[in-house]
Chain A
Amino acid sequence: MKGLQRHLLQLMILLLIGMISLQSTWVYLQTDGTHRVRVTYHQHLPPHCFPFEAKKRLQKYLIKDIPGITSSQIVISSFADKLYLSLPELSKPRGFYVNLENILNKQIKCLANELLPLKETNMRQYGFRLNQVESIQVNSPRTLDYVSILINIVFCLFLARLFLKKKAQPPK
């Protein structure tokens, strides 16, 4: 029984050391200063309108225009009356994003079209307007990574102490 317990403890310690190493390597590898571009558009859309079509159109355009970019690298979300678009860092002039704005505004098709049919004149007051283009550093290690590694190290030390105690006990 004691032998089994010692083996279990060894296994647990190894598992934790593996976890700590894996996580530390992961966090270390992230410190390569990867940047992304975040583009924000002001949204002026009808009530209950979700610019779902915008995502499809943007993705289609970006994938066509920028070879090498994949759809999974394009992240788009809608938050607090703004449309956020995040891309891998690209050296494109501001005009490129203004062009995206035009593409978005060419046809606003959203959920509201089916629920609340809008007249052509009313549609003109809605649209997207470029708000900000900024470069942001992503994937830098964050506080929670260090906290998490620290917790695992403390737990590993606790198990090691338990292991040493078990080892020190004379067999019955």
Chain B
Amino acid sequence: MIYVLGGLTLAILYTAAALGVAIWQTDLHWFGDITLVCQVTLTPLDQCRLDTIAVGWETLAGLCLAALMLITTLFLAQERQNAKRWVLPPNTFEHSILYRLFIVGVITLLCAHFFTRITGPDQLGRLAMIEREGFFTSLENLCWPILLQLYVADRSRIGRYFALTLLLVVASLAFFRGTPLLILIFGIGFYLLDFIWHILNRRNLWKRYRPILTERLIIGIVVSLLLIPAVITDSASRKAYVLSGQSTTDISSAARQPASSLQTSDPNITQQPLLPTGLGERQIMQRIMSPLYHASMARKLADTVPPPTAWDGLARKLRLSEQPNLNEHLYHAIYPSHPAGQTTSLFFGEGAAWSSAPPLFWIVSAVLFLFLLALAGERVGIPIGLLVGLAIWRGYTGGLIDILPSLMLQIIAITLIAKPWMKRMGALR
């Protein structure tokens, strides 16, 4: 359950950071993308900022209420959990046929992706590459949480190393920094925390667990040394790419369009310099604040333009429909000339667009739903804690409906891989 709590803690910390930046940054003129978001609802920047701060407080309140409920429930159900979880014999999936098939599938996918990458044109821009390799990225996004779950649940050293190796390949092929970062946070950070927590609860077994802890620490350090420099290098190249003017979003739009006239209609307003200093810092701040502004926009836009329904969103995710989902609809409202993309409108945006009650109710309910799912998994002995923890984080940014189809597919995959083998091993009642 540490993964579930971890996912929720990440969401709370992120909201607090975004809210802090939104309160702190009173002058929005140079945040180009945020200016565009405010323009959709024709709201003056000051008013837009105040509305967004209100959204931030409501989101934070909803997440904290949900966290309070989760912690209290876990505290109350603690005895039962400890007794059950740690009587399980070692989980290992390497003898499961479906596990082998899954691994072969992932290796084939990674090889195909790698082959497409190296045979493609060299000078293709980042957006064009994302579009070209979108099919592989989607499948990898579906697979890597399963690999990560297998990695943390597998007690066989070979199985763990194998899953980790594949995860590193996925991280190296990923276009988005979020993938390696999430692998680091959930696969290394929370994985260690989980283990330390259980050692603390069983002090007399310290000697037995010490080698495993040492191994996890070494793996953690090695993987961090591999991934963190990669993320830093990627960020530096991304900044150069943005400054070169090839990027069609991000801060470049700020450099193109000073938004002074949104604030005031005074034609005598002084123009600010086109390339301000501190571009990198502003880009980071804009990135942190954007989800709150997207959520605020989702609420206002839903009052005038009917948003796509939840069913549209589900069908789109399952590739059964060409209709845009909510986040694509919002993206299209901000960037009408861009071919494709998605916003991050949070649980809040989803609640605001599809519910008549205040979004706070939906934020609490969505987290409770995922928590119930994790409890159910634990009860039947299927390790899905990490999948649900990741789903809380990803759902928090994109909405529950957005992640539900992939989460269900991942849970089915883990059930098929883990359950028959664990049953044979006598792990299940």
Contacts and interface: CB of A to CB of B under 8 A. Distances in A.
Interface of A: 5, 8-9, 12, 15-16, 19, 23, 26-27, 30, 38, 48, 50-56, 75-81, 84-86, 109-111, 113-115, 138-145, 147-148, 151-152, 154-155, 158-159, 162, 166
Interface string B335-350: 0100000000000001
A81 B262 CA distance: 19
Interface of B: 39-42, 44, 69, 72-73, 75-77, 257, 259-262, 265, 267, 269, 300-301, 303-305, 309-310, 332-333, 336, 350-351, 354-358, 361-362, 364-366, 368-369, 371-372, 375
Contact of B42 (A12, A26, A38, A52): A52
Contacts of B351: 144
A78 B39 contact: yes
B300 A77 contact: yes
B141 to A, nearest CB: 25
A76 B304 contact: yes
- The A contact surface, by secondary structure, is helix
Contacts of B304: 38, 75-77, 79, 84-86
17 contacts: A26-B357, A50-B262, A53-B265, A77-B305, A78-B42, A79-B304, A79-B305, A81-B336, A86-B304, A111-B259, A111-B262, A115-B257, A143-B309, A144-B350, A145-B357, A158-B375, A162-B77
Contacts of A15: 69
A159 B305 CA distance: 40
B365 A147 contact: yes
Nearest to A85: B304
- The B contact surface, by secondary structure, is helix
Contact of A30 (B332, B356, B362): B356
Given A26-B356, A111-B261, A152-B368, A159 B42 contact: no
A81 B333 CA distance: 9
A152 B358 CA distance: 15
B283 to A, nearest CB: 21
A84 B362 contact: no
B260 A114 contact: yes
Contact of B303 (A55, A80, A81, A86): A86
Given A27-B357, A80-B336, A140-B356, 4 more contacts: A23-B357, A55-B42, A141-B356, A145-B357
B355 A148 contact: yes
Nearest to A75: B303
B359 to A, nearest CB: 10
Contact of B41 (A56, A76, A138): A76
Contacts of B350: 144
Contacts of B362: 144, 148
A55 B42 CA distance: 7
B76 A166 contact: yes
Nearest to B304: A84
A109 B262 CA distance: 11
A75 B302 CA distance: 10
Contacts of A5: 75-76
Contact of A54 (B42, B44, B364): B42
A151 to B, nearest CB: 4
A75 B75 CA distance: 46
Nearest to B329: A79
Contacts of A138: 303
Contacts of B262: 50, 52, 111
Name, among A77, A111, A162, the residue most crowded by chain B CB atoms within 10 Å (CB to CB).
Answer: A77
B346 to A, nearest CB: 14
Nearest to B41: A77
B333 A143 contact: no
Contacts of A8: 72, 75-76
A52 B261 contact: yes
Contacts of A166: 76
Contacts of A48: 257
Name, among B303, B310, B350, B356, the residue most crowded by chain A CB atoms within 10 Å (CB to CB).
Answer: B356
B357 A77 contact: no
Given A30-B356, A48-B257, A152 B42 contact: no
B305 A12 contact: no
Those 5 A-B pairs whose CB atoms lie nearest each other, nearest first: A84-B304, A148-B365, A55-B42, A144-B354, A144-B355
Contacts of B69: 12, 15-16, 155
A51 B355 contact: no
Name, among B259, B265, B332, the residue most crowded by chain A CB atoms within 10 Å (CB to CB).
Answer: B265
